Amino acid sequence: MIVPNLTILYVDNPLSSARFYEALLGRPPSTLYPTYAAFDLGDGRHLGLWSTTARDFVSSGTGHRSELAFMVAGDQDVDALHTAWTRLGVPVEQAPMDAVFGRTFVALDPDGHRLRVCTPDD
C-alpha cells in the first residue's frame, strides 16, 4: 500500500516561507535550498515548499483550492493558538468560530495558502 507522506506547497520564495513555517512549527527545516525547503513533521510525514520559479517546476494549475489543516488536541486551545499566530503577524482569513465539526480558524501563509486550525468535537 502507498501512503502519502509529503505535502508540497508551491511558493514564491522558499527561504522566506521556511522562516514563516519555522516560526509556526517551532522547528527548523530539515532541508533548505534556494528553490526548495522541507520540514520533517515526524512519523514519516514531510512538508515541502517548492519555488514556482525553480528550473524544474511545471504546473498548469492556479489558485488555492486546498488547506493545510492543523488538528490540535482537546487540551490545546484554538483561540490561544489564534492569539499566538496573530502576534507573529500571521494574517487571519477567518476568525475563531464554532463550525459543525468543532472550534476552528483559518490563517494564510505568505503565498495565500489556507492554514486551518481546529479541535474536532467528540
| Residue 98 counted as domain residue | yes
Q: In this structure, what are the phi and psi dihedrals at residue 67, rounded to the nearest 5 degrees?
A: -135, 150
- My answer on whether 14 and 43 are in the same domain is yes
Alpha-carbon distance of 81 to 46, in angstroms, equals 22
- My answer on whether 51 and 69 are in the same domain is no
| Residue 4 counted as domain residue | yes
Alpha-carbon distance of 50 to 69, in angstroms, equals 19
What average pLDDT does this structure show over 61-75?
Answer: 76
Alpha-carbon distance of 103 to 26, in angstroms, equals 22
- My answer on whether 48 and 74 are in the same domain is no
What domain count does the chain have?
2
Q: What CATH number does residue 80 fall under? A: 3.10.180.10
Strand partners, 46: 6, 40
How does DSSP assign 46-81, residue by residue? Answer: EEEEEETTSTT------S---EEEEEPPTTS-HHHH
61 versus 87: the higher-pLDDT residue is 87
Per-residue pLDDT tens digits for 79-114: 999 999 999 999 999 999 998 888 999 999 999 999
| Residue 60 counted as domain residue | no
Per-residue pLDDT tens digits for 9-35: 999 999 999 999 999 999 999 999 999
Q: What CATH number does residue 13 fall under? A: 3.30.720.120
Cell, residue 22: 519555522
Full residue range of the structural domain in which residue 114 is found: 65-122
| Residue 95 counted as domain residue | yes
Residue 33 has what DSSP assignment?
E
Provide the pLDDT for residue 120: 78
pTM of the model: 0.84
Last residue of a domain, one of 25, 55, 85: 55
Residue type, 104: T
Alpha-carbon distance of 13 to 16, in angstroms, equals 5
- My answer on whether 15 and 51 are in the same domain is yes
Cell, residue 92: 487571519
